[in-house]
Structure 1
Amino acid sequence: MLKGAIARRYAEAIFELARKQSTLDRTLEDVKEIAALFAHRKLAYLLREPKISVKRKETAIRQALASRVLPTSLNLALLIVQRELVDYMQNIATELENLVLDYRNQAVAEVITAAPLDEKQQALVKKALERSTGKNIVMQTRVDPSILGGIVARVGDQVIDSSVRYRLAALQQNLLTKVSSATTDFFSEELDALSNNGYTAASDVTQPTQAQV
């Protein structure tokens, strides 16, 4: 929880700066690049090693990024290193992307299909998702033959599953439920038939009293 709050605070700061400077797209690209760089095994070791001086770490960051990112993005990277928040960088990148998407009323949709979609099909899916979410959809498509057919779409925490695999699973569950219900009904009918023919359950048989013997 604390990690998320800290990451969001830094993301909000760089977002506001980028918005004022009209550099949202470039800043988002920079921050993603910084997050990827910080995850690189050799550099990650250098940045996390407490025995290595902050100055040496800053030099490594400047050499890697100075010619590739905006000055404000470089300053963010240096600040993260100085405050020993390297492990937060990926979260900051994710939070920044969410802020940019919200600012533009956009949402990323991961669309999974059993076979590749052509341009017309992609346009139809995009339009349907925009109508469902009320946001401008940025589609990311992926092929997964295991869903058999149909579409699975993930937009944030929302999952829309209309795959053949899901429908088959739902049908199987429905059939199992029906079979269970039918079995119960069958035995109920059998018990009714026994009662109607003069048979009584053992627990219902009245034991003779001493007076009746």
Structure 2
Amino acid sequence: MTFQAASREALAAVELKLLDVIEGTAAAAAGPLGEELFAVAGLLDREIGLRRTLADSSTDPAARERLANSLLDGKVGADTLQVVAAAVSARWSSPRELVDGIEALAITALLVRAERDGRLDAVEDELFRLGRIIADQNELEQVLSDRTAPAEGKLSLITALIDGKVDPTTATLVANLVGQPRGRGIVNGLESLAGEAAKRRERSVAHVVSAGPLSAAQQERLSASLQRIYGRQIGLHIEVDESLGGGLVVKVGDEVIDGSTAGRLDALRRRFAS
């Protein structure tokens, strides 16, 4: 998600409130908090007039907070009410970015739960792997990314695919992405969520494509090399593609390091063609 300056400041301030709220709760409570924040984001996404009213910085912040409380009281928990009240009383660049901000807070709450449970690594890996699986099945990707298809059918499809096979945090994040895509493609959305999980662990992610499986020792050496290059921790997301012929292709952000046999052959062809 990309935020303008005012929204970045608002999100940073409300995230502090969110973390304060989570700090005073049990680890399990962060899950329902995240799910309820997703529901609030969905409500504001559907109700254009309501989100405009709650994001109108020309009105009294206390009045916006009272309106949110009156609408949500009894429908969500006290923790969620606190976070939403802080969000609607902040100054956002646009009504749409208020919705994006509440969704970002929901993602943070869920990732904090996974972190507290010692499952953040697993959630990150599951999101990445699911993205790769769907990317490799064009028909499935098209169905899940179809904006005209009913959300219920897409949710049933993704639930059948992952039910009982992934962490509950992963399942909730994926269900929100599929049920409330808001213009996002499923594969890009999953990659973005995996990136958020990686940032939660204060590291960057290297997407590695290898001609064959990498041993634990090879992964450790590659991670150490990338850490020296970039001066920070680098997590590895690895997939195997035998068509590379040999070697690796490593992508960190916008930078690609192509050490594959196929990549070197392509470079030679370009040299001789010039």
TM-score relative to the length of structure 1: 0.53
Change in CA separation of 1:25 and 1:52 when aligned onto 2, cut-off 3 Å: same
The answer for the alignment partner of 2:29 in structure 1 is 23
SS of the residue corresponding to residue 18 of structure 1 reads: coil
Matched with 1:148 is: none
Higher mean C-alpha displacement, 32-41 vs 11-20: 32-41
Cα distance in 1 for partners of 2:244, 2:90 equals 51
Paired residue for 2:107?
94
Distance 1:137 1:33, change over 3 A: closer
Over 3 Å counting, the alpha-carbon distance change for 1:176 and 1:80 in structure 2 is closer
> For the structure 1 residues 51 and 27, does the alpha-carbon distance in structure 2 shift closer, same or farther, using more than 3 Å as the test?
same
In the alignment, is residue 75 of structure 1 matched against residue 82 of structure 2? yes
Q: Who is 2:267 aligned against? A: 177
Which stretches of structure 1, 4 residues or more, deviate above 6 A after TM superposition? Answer: none
Aligned to 2:16: 9
CA distance in 1, matches of 2:69, 2:14: 22
Alpha carbons 2:33, 2:80 under 8 Å: kept: yes
Contact 1:46 1:57 (8 Å CA) reproduced: yes
Deviations 1:59-78 (A, max 9, x none): 43234311320122113222
In the other structure, the counterpart of 2:43 is 37
Contact 2:111–2:169, Cα closer than 8 Å, also in 1: no
Once the two structures are overlaid, the 10-residue window that deviates more, 55-64 or 68-77, is 55-64
SS in 2 for 1:23: helix
For the residues of structure 2 that align with 1:75 and 1:96, how far apart are their CA atoms?
A: 13
| Contiguous gaps of at least 5 residues in structure 1 | 127-134, 143-152, 184-213
Deviation track 1:8-33 (CA, whole Å, cap 9, x = no partner) reads 3122112113327x522222212222
* Conserved? CA contact 1:38–1:89, under 8 Å: no
Give the structure 1 partner of residue 71 of structure 2: 64
CA distance in 2, matches of 1:19, 1:37: 26
**Partners of 2:30 and 2:113 within 8 A in 1:** yes
Q: Which deviates further from its counterpart, 46-55 or 70-79?
A: 46-55
Query: CA 1:167/1:8 → structure 2, altered by over 3 Å: closer, same or farther?
Result: farther
Distance in 1 (CA, whole Å) between partners of 2:65 and 2:169 is 38
Shift of 1:46: 0.4
Q: Aligned partners of 1:11 and 1:177: how far apart in 2?
A: 50
Q: Do the aligned partners of 1:27 and 1:73 also contact (CA within 8 Å) in 2?
A: yes
Q: Please report the TM-score for the alignment, with normalisation by the length of structure 2.
A: 0.44
